[in-house]
Amino acid sequence: MTDQIAAKQLMDPASRDKEKRKKARKNFWTAMLFMLPAIAIIGFFLFYPMFKTLYFSFFVVNSRGDTISFAGLSNYLYLWESSSFRTSMKATFLFALYTVPTTIIVSLFLAVITNEKVRGIPFFRVAFSSTLGVSVAAGATIWLILLHPSVGVFNNLLAGIGFDRIGWLTSSTWALISVSITTIWMNLGFNFIILLGGLQNISEELYESARVDGAGYWTQLFKITIPLLSPTLFFVSVVTIINSFQSFGQVDILTGGGPNNSTNLIVYSIYREAFESGFFGTASAQAMILFALVLILTIIQFKFVEKKVHYQ
């Protein structure tokens, strides 16, 4: 060992430089070897498809992925003029509006009440995060029966207190709301866990000194908890919006996009265009619109919301 160090000190600057470069090269190839599997998978199944989808969106493509003819912008123009695509976009935005704020407010409420020091809290934490373990298929199937027109619990309850039964999944006014309720319920678990983690990161001393200054429960909540939680709230809102744009399974099981396309959310619309109608070109154009939406939303959030976020 000491011999090695001595040898290095004896070396002239030129060969030391060479040694250094050799080591850098060796490090580079070792690093590449370590990253190779990840680069291959992510490159092949995420980067490449994005470019390929963009390419497809300018062509007429059949369901085996063969480009039939160049289409220019006509796939996009077709979507622009298609009333069913417009309905689907409207449903997608409405769905985000129905689900995102409610999910965040309810899970914040749950996180705040389980951050109290009372007995039995672990039990409640498990209960509130349980929907994280509920798959979209299982969750939607449960709600399919809860919202069932004749045997569903919801309608039985309504009938019991003298109201008319509602066609939760068959009326175009209610279907999107029903899918939204299901989605909010399914997303609570994840958001609850993240927000609770954020709450527990806030130091207890802050609350203690606030109490010494005579701050009450609500003052503490709005002057300490919410501002200090804002980075986590920011993260949660980005993720929840993106998730809402990606919803698929609950639509497939609950409504199949109907009635009258009122729940034909964008991913479902892409799926139908490609796998029911066999138009991969227009489906790709829709996928690019979804990609652009997610990208723009994330950038806007980073630009405008992050400025207002407090960091500890």
Binding mask 246-285 for other proteins (x = CB under 8 A): x-xx--xx-------------x--xx--xx----x--xx-
CA pair distance 229, 213, nearest whole angstrom: 21
Q: What part of residues 155-184 is at the interface with other proteins (CB under 8 A)?
A: 156
Contact between 216 and other proteins (CB under 8 A)? no
Q: Centre a 10 Å sphere on the Cβ of residue 225 and count the other Cβ atoms it contains.
A: 19
Helical packing angle, 226-245 and 83-114, nearest 10°: 150
Out of 31, 68, 221, 300, the residue judged to bind other proteins by CB under 8 A:
31
CB of 104 to other proteins, least distance (A): 13
The structure tokens listed for 188 are 């609570």
The structure tokens listed for 282 are 């227009």
Out of 144, 166, 169, 179, the residue judged to bind other proteins by CB under 8 A:
144
The candidate with the shortest Cα–Cα distance to 272, out of 287, 261, 283, is: 283
Contact between 141 and other proteins (CB under 8 A)? yes
Contact between 20 and other proteins (CB under 8 A)? no
* Residues in Cβ contact with 174 at an 8 Å cutoff, skipping those fewer than 6 apart: 166, 167, 168
CB of 125 to other proteins, least distance (A): 7
CB of 120 to other proteins, least distance (A): 8
* Residues in Cβ contact with 98 at an 8 Å cutoff, skipping those fewer than 6 apart: 176, 177, 180, 184
Out of 15, 16, 17, 30, the residue judged to bind other proteins by CB under 8 A:
30
The candidate with the shortest Cα–Cα distance to 91, out of 211, 218, 255, 207, is: 255
Judged by CB under 8 A, the stretch of 6-14, 83-91, 138-146, 162-170 that binds other proteins is 138-146
Contact between 300 and other proteins (CB under 8 A)? no
Closest to other proteins by CB, 1 vs 12, is 1
Sign of the alpha-carbon dihedral angle for 10, 13, 18, 24: positive
Closest to other proteins by CB, 101 vs 133, is 133
CB of 299 to other proteins, least distance (A): 9
Closest to other proteins by CB, 101 vs 256, is 256
Closest to other proteins by CB, 12 vs 108, is 108
Q: What part of residues 111-130 is at the interface with other proteins (CB under 8 A)?
A: 113-114, 116, 118, 120, 123-130
CB of 155 to other proteins, least distance (A): 9
3 state SS of 69: strand
Contact between 151 and other proteins (CB under 8 A)? yes
Q: Are strands 67-70 and 59-61 parallel, antiparallel or unpaired?
A: antiparallel
CA–chain centroid gap for 121, Å, is: 28
CA pair distance 301, 211, nearest whole angstrom: 34
CA pair distance 250, 267, nearest whole angstrom: 11
3 state SS of 265: coil
Binding mask 66-95 for other proteins (x = CB under 8 A): ------------------------------
Q: What part of residues 90-109 is at the interface with other proteins (CB under 8 A)?
A: 109
The candidate with the shortest Cα–Cα distance to 194, out of 146, 237, 250, is: 237
Judged by CB under 8 A, the stretch of 28-36, 72-80, 168-176, 208-216 that binds other proteins is 28-36
